[in-house]
Amino acid sequence: MTGLARKLICGWLPILFLVLVVLSSVPAAPAADETGDALQLVWDQKIPMRDGVKLSAVIWKPRHMTESLPAIVTITPYGAQRSLTQAKYFATHGYVLVAVDSRGRGNSEGSFRPFRDDGADGYDIVEWAAKQPWCNGKVGTWGGSYSGFNQWATMKYHPPDLKVAIPFASGGVISDIPMFNNIVSSHLFNWLTLVSGRIMNSELTGDDDYWEDADKELARQGKSFRDLEEVVGNTSTAWKEMLAHPTIDDYWLSMIPSPQDYQKIDIPILTVTGHYDGDQGGALMYYRDFMQYASPAAQANHYLIIGPWDHHGTLYNKDEVGKIKFGPNAVLNMIQIHLEFYDWALKGKEPPKFLKDKVAYYVAGRDEWRYSSTLSGISDDKKTFYLSSEPLRVHDAYHAGYLSEEPMAENAPDVFASDPGDLKALLDEKNTELYFYTPPLEEPLTMSGVANFDAYIAIDRPDADFSVKLQEVMKDGTVIPLAFDAKRARYNHSLRAAELVKPGEVNQYVFSTFHLFSRQLAKGSRLRISFSVMNTSGEQRNMNTGGPVSEQTIEDAKPVQVTLYHDRKYPSRLVVPVIR
């Protein structure tokens, strides 16, 4: 597991760019060759785009084809040749696989502009493939992470010959990459370096120690976040261009389907994500928007699988993430499920047997798969826990504050300070956190869905960044991460426009973008929530002034005092979805 994946397991900002590549770098186990046919390779097939740029494809097809076949297209910035294992599998089951280097990557012409050109290029590639003599006019798309994103970007353009899509662990642009709730991780720059030039710089970007030191060096020099490219030494990326758009604006929205685009998408889709998938936000953003705006007939053919997996595990399942263990049934033959989905959509065969209903989700702890006709149906009740504390104890992870099912009439608020100018505290990663626990559970508690944290907070500055972690603490002290959320105060009401905070004013902050998870907490476990100001060297650091976050230096830093209220007037509370 990479250092970035460890951050998600520990509950930090879930923007894990480096794991975007692993979905295409580890082979799946293909089934036996059913036809006996060898593969026919077509190397560096040039595909013309509408602007004259030619993209390079590697095409695999059965050597002894007797008829035209459906084509499966995957487009990747990580090297088309990485699809060999999947090509063998699909080709031996009656498909032609077309793997294309993204514009400006590998052997393709043009310049790579992350997220900018993928939709139009995807349209042209699909329509080109449909017209080839080896294709019967039916095309599907396939791929995860960036290749999941560019499937949705392609669907935005509605190519007429696209008949099915399987996007898994799809990057969401405005929901997880390049920013999460308008907060940017320094790992964005790591990923931009990975895809700088035409080949993957995986050795460089895989050196976790180097990148951690680069983050700390930026802090030591007191430079602005946007100066990270100078500290690292790579000024060839879209880093500053992206940072110039700190809110959700037309720059970002142009990359993904609009409500009107979703209304036109009418093909079968299989979406896959995981509890610990760093791109779950993107996968579920597309899914929810599609289910809101698409026609009822199209919605009926959209299936969703949510497993107990990290980003990599959405294709290559394991029965554990980090040290969190699941049952052996957490491991599925995903490539076979994909094949069966294509066979249903493109060849009229039976749908995958695993898909017993529209939503399949894994309940960890119970270690069972369950099904629902809707995403909201994965829980059937809610449970509310109110925060309270005693003076000073809330800062102690072993004693801490309380999560109770009844609100407190009177309870003194918790007050703490955070100083982005305190370099020693930053480099030593000493970040003040407030902890709140339930009593030990008298019976197992099954939570399934997205938690919601309503917090009443006052700050003495016009802005600050907050983070919240939700965890299960077992009887033996083992901590199981469940979900994480973060919020920049200036975007409390909208991610599309900043509204600075009036210092000293008590405001309600609704944290509603936690990762979806499904887990049965054990009898004797305690549910824990922790709250802090997010001030770490690996993330975009807010200097609390209300100025442009990416441009401010340590000279601009101002300490912020945070007051978290929890009483009858200001009932800060955690609401969790549960299964009765």
Quick one: pLDDT at residue 21? 44
Token pair of 506 as six digits: 């008590």
Pairing of strands 359-363, 324-325: unpaired
| Helical ranges in 16-166 per DSSP H | 84-91, 118-130, 146-156
Nearest to 18 by CA among 248, 265, 206: 206
DSSP element (H, E) containing 344: helix 334-347
d(CA 318, CA 28): 12
d(CA 359, CA 304): 5
CB burial string 374-407: b at 16+ within 10 A, e below: ebebbbeeebbbbbbbeeeebbeeeebbbbbeeb
Quick one: pLDDT at residue 84? 86
Q: Which residue has the tokens 């790591």?
A: 190
Nearest to 432 by CA among 544, 546, 535, 556: 535
Pairing of strands 162-168, 135-144: parallel
Hey, do 3-176+248-377 and 381-579 end up sharing a CATH topology, with the first three levels equal?
A: no
DSSP element (H, E) containing 291: helix 280-293
Nearest to 252 by CA among 288, 291, 282: 282
DSSP element (H, E) containing 167: strand 162-168
Amino acid at 499: E
Query: 3-176+248-377 has which fold?
Result: Rossmann fold (3.40.50)
d(CA 314, CA 294): 25
Question: Which DSSP letter does residue 364 get?
Answer: B
Do residues 446 and 579 lie in contact, with contact meaning Cβ atoms separated by under 8 Å?
Answer: yes
Token pair of 275 as six digits: 């509890």
Q: Which residue has the tokens 């036109």?
A: 264
DSSP element (H, E) containing 341: helix 334-347
| Count of CB atoms situated within 10 Å of the CB of 71 | 28
Residue-wise DSSP of 58-98? EEEEETT--S-EEEEEEEESS-GGGGHHHHHHHHTTT-EEE
Domains of the chain, by residue range, sit at: 3-176+248-377, 381-579
Q: What are phi and psi of 226, to 5 degrees?
A: -70, -15
Q: Which residue has the tokens 């991460």?
A: 481
Spans of the chain, pLDDT less than 50 = 1-22, 24-36
CATH 2.60.120.260 fits 381-579, yes or no: yes
Nearest to 56 by CA among 97, 96, 101, 98: 101
Quick one: pLDDT at residue 392? 62
- For residue range 485-526, list pLDDT tens digits in order: 999 999 999 999 999 999 999 999 999 999 999 999 999 999
CA 572 to mean position of chain CA atoms? 27
Quick one: pLDDT at residue 15? 40
Quick one: pLDDT at residue 12? 39
